[in-house]
Structure 1
Amino acid sequence: MSRIAFHLAPALMLAYGVVRLIDGRDGQHGPGPAWTVGHVLFLGSLLLYGGVIAGLYGRVRAASGGTASRVAAGVTTVLAAVGLAAFVRVAVIDIVVGLRAADAAEKSMLADRYADVPAVLPQAIYEIGPVFFMLGLVALLVQFAVTAPGRKAVAVMSPVLVVLGFVAITINLDLLPAGAALIWLALVPHTRDQVPSSPARPETSARVAA
C-alpha cells in the first residue's frame, strides 16, 4: 500500500492543482463544484501522504545502524504526522465551507468562523501546523539519503526536489501542479529501491552448502 501512496499522493495533489486552476479562471476560487472536487482530491492526497510517511519511516529504520538514528527517525515521523493532521484539518474545513457557502463573501465569512475549530489550540498553531508536515517529509528523505546504502545520488536528489516543489507552491499556489510534479519525481525512486537484506550468517551458508 505504501508503494501506491508514493505515486497516488503527489498525483492527486497535481490533479487538485489542475482543478484549482480551472476553478480560478473567473478570477476567484470557490465556492462551487470545482472547489469541492479539488479539495476532495487534496484530502485524498493528504491521507495518502500518511502512507508515504510510514513508508519512509520503515525505510529509514531498516537502513539505520544505530539507536540514535532510529530515534531521530521516530521524532521526525511524529513531526510530519502532526503537520499532516493539521493539513487534513484545513482540507476538511475547506470542503465544509465550500459546501455551505453560497458565494465568495459567505465563503470568506465561514472560513473566518471555522478558523479556530476545534478550539483546543491557538489559531496560530493551526496556521503553522502544515509546515511541520513539509519539514518532516524533507527530514525523513534527508535521513534516508544519509543512511541508505548505494545509489546515493538518487537518494540525495529526493529531498532537493521536494524542497523545490514546496518552494514553488509557497511562492504561488498556481504553481501547485509543477510543485506536485517535482514531489512526484522525488518519491518515484522510493517505489522501487529496497534496502538490501543482511547477508546470511556463515553457519547458515554452511548448512545450505551441506
Structure 2
Amino acid sequence: MTATTAHRSQDSPAATFTRIAFHLAPVLMLTYGLVRLIDGRDGHHGPGTAWTVGHLLFLGALLMYGPVIVGLRRRVPRGGMPRRLTANIATGVALVGLATFIRVAIIDIVVGLQAADPAEKSRLSDRYSDVPAVLPQVVYEIGPMFFMLGLIVLLVQLAVVGPRSIGNILSPVLVVLGFITIFINLDLLSAGAALIWLALIHHARTPARAETRRRTPQPNTA
C-alpha cells in the first residue's frame, strides 16, 4: 500500500467528498459542454430537453465548486496575517461569485422550462435579469467573474507558498487557460473544463492542512 493510498483510507467523509468534488466539478462542466454542442446543432440553444439537462449538469458543477474552493483554502499552508488574509478574501470572493453563478444557472433552467421557443426564452431571460431584485443588476452581471478571480488567486497562492511541485505551479496556468478557452468560444467549454480538471487533479491528491495534522504520528513519550 502506498503512502497516498494509506492517507486516503484514513480520510473523513468530508475529506472524501471534497476529493470527489475536485473531479466531479470539472467533469460535470465538461459534460455540460458536450450537451450544449448537441443542443446547438439546429442553430439555437434551448429551450428543450437538451437545454434543461445541460443546465442541470452545469448547476451540479457549480455546486461542486463550493467544496473545491473550501478545499483549496484548507490546503494553503499556515502563515502570517497577510497569507491568511489573502486566502480568506480570495475564498470569500470566489464563494460570492459562485453564488451569483448558481443564480444564473437556476434562472436559465426556469426560463428553459417556461419558454416555448427561442424568442420567448430571450424575453423571459430579460424579464428575470435582475431577479432577485436585492442587488444592482451589474453585480449579477459581473459576479461570476469573482468566482474565477478568487479561484485563480487561491491557486496562485498555493503555487507561491505551498510545497514546490510541478502540479502546484501548473494549476493556476491551466485554470487561466481553461477560462480563456471558454471565453474565446462557448463551444470550447468542454476543452476548457478539461484544462481545469487537469489543474484540480493535483489538489485532489494532496491532503488538506487539517488532514495532514491528524496523520502526523505523535512521538512516543512512554
**TM-score, shorter chain, exceeding 0.5:** yes
In structure 1, the residue matched to 2:9 is: none
1:52 pairs, out of 51, 68, 72, with 68
Residue 150 of structure 1 deviates from its aligned partner by 3.4
In structure 1, the residue matched to 2:161 is: 147
In structure 2, the residue matched to 1:25 is: 41
> What is the identity, as a one-letter code, of the residue corresponding to 1:44?
G
Q: 1:200–1:136: structure 2 CA closer, same or farther, 3 Å change rule?
A: closer
Once the two structures are overlaid, the 10-residue window that deviates more, 64-73 or 183-192, is 64-73
Structure 1, unmatched stretches of 5+, are none
- The answer to whether residue 167 in structure 2 is matched with residue 161 in structure 1 is no
SS in 2 for 1:30: coil
Runs of 4+ in 1 over 6 A off after TM superposition: 198-201
CA root-mean-square deviation: 1.8
- The answer to whether residue 205 in structure 2 is matched with residue 189 in structure 1 is no
Residue 64 of structure 1 deviates from its aligned partner by 2.7
- Alpha-carbon distance in 2 for matches of 1:73, 1:167: 23
- The answer to whether residue 110 in structure 2 is matched with residue 96 in structure 1 is yes
- Alpha-carbon distance in 1 for matches of 2:113, 2:101: 19
1:82 pairs, out of 96, 99, 103, with 96
- Alpha-carbon distance in 1 for matches of 2:214, 2:159: 19
Contact persistence 1:64–1:147 (CA under 8 A): no
Residue 198 of structure 1 deviates from its aligned partner by 9.8
SS in 2 for 1:120: coil
Residue 200 of structure 1 deviates from its aligned partner by 7.5
In structure 1, the residue matched to 2:7 is: none
> What is the identity, as a one-letter code, of the residue corresponding to 1:39?
H
- Alpha-carbon distance in 1 for matches of 2:214, 2:104: 43
- The answer to whether residue 129 in structure 2 is matched with residue 115 in structure 1 is yes
Identical pairs, percent = 66
Q: 1:104–1:192: structure 2 CA closer, same or farther, 3 Å change rule?
A: same
Structure 2, unmatched stretches of 5+, are 1-16
